[in-house]
């Protein structure tokens, strides 16, 4: 029972994370865009990223909600969290001055290292979800 419901629970946690993240970015879009323009790696793309990132988060959240696309949603979630984590690592290792967080809501209150730890925890959960959902999908194919 737990193995069957775990991917659903993990997916719902990711939906909450991505919808919350997307909404906070959109509600403070001008601040989000301004903060992104301070980042050395993406400065020239800040306007595009400010719109694109919340849209991607909402799309992934939607994909996670349907059983038929949940596995794709979990893979997409892992990829997005990995991109965020790599970017945080680049920020932590390549800048000598403090760059503000371009995130919103409660994540704005966290340090870069705190955000990295949260991302790693969600990546671990997502990996478990991928593994369990893959097993469930394989079992459904065998039963057909």
SS in 3 state form for 25-90?
HHHCHHHHHHHHCCCCCCHHHHHHHHHHHHHHHHHHHHHHHCCCCHHHHHHHHHHHHHHHHHHHHH
Weakest mean pLDDT among 17-26, 33-42, 96-105, 128-137: 96-105
Residue written as token pair 């369990």:
132
Mean pLDDT of the region 115-125: 96
Predicted pLDDT at 2: 61
In angstroms, the first-to-last Cα distance of the chain is 21
Residue 18: pLDDT above 80? yes
pTM: 0.88
Residue 27: pLDDT above 90? yes
Percent of the chain at pLDDT exceeding 70: 88
Predicted pLDDT at 140: 65
DSSP 8-state assignment for residue 39? -
Beta strands (DSSP E) in 23-122 are none
Backbone angles phi, psi at 98, to 5 degrees: -75, 125
Mean pLDDT of the region 81-88: 92
Confidence of residue 142 (pLDDT cuts 50, 70, 90): low
Mean pLDDT of the region 108-124: 91
* Size of the chain in residues: 144
Query: Which residue, 56, 90, 61, 77, is CA-closest to 119?
Result: 77
Residue 3: pLDDT above 70? no
- The residue among 10 and 112 whose pLDDT is bigger is 10
| 44's tokens | 């020239």
Angle between helix 46-65 and 2-27 (nearest 10): 150
């Amino acid at each position: 029972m737990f193995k069957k419901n775990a991917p659903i629970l993990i997916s719902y946690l990711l939906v909450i994370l991505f919808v919350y993240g997307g909404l906070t970015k959109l509600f403070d879009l001008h601040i989000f865009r301004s903060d992104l323009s301070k980042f050395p790696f993406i400065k020239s793309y800040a306007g595009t990223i400010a719109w694109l990132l919340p849209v991607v988060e909402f799309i992934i959240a939607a994909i996670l909600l349907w059983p038929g696309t949940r596995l794709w949603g979990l893979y997409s979630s892992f990829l997005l969290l990995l991109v965020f984590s790599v970017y945080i690592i680049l920020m932590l290792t390549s800048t000598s001055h403090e760059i503000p967080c371009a995130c919103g809501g409660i994540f704005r209150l966290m340090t870069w290292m705190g955000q990295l730890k949260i991302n790693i925890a969600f990546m671990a959960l997502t990996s478990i979800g991928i593994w369990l959902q893959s097993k469930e999908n394989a079992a459904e194919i065998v039963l057909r």
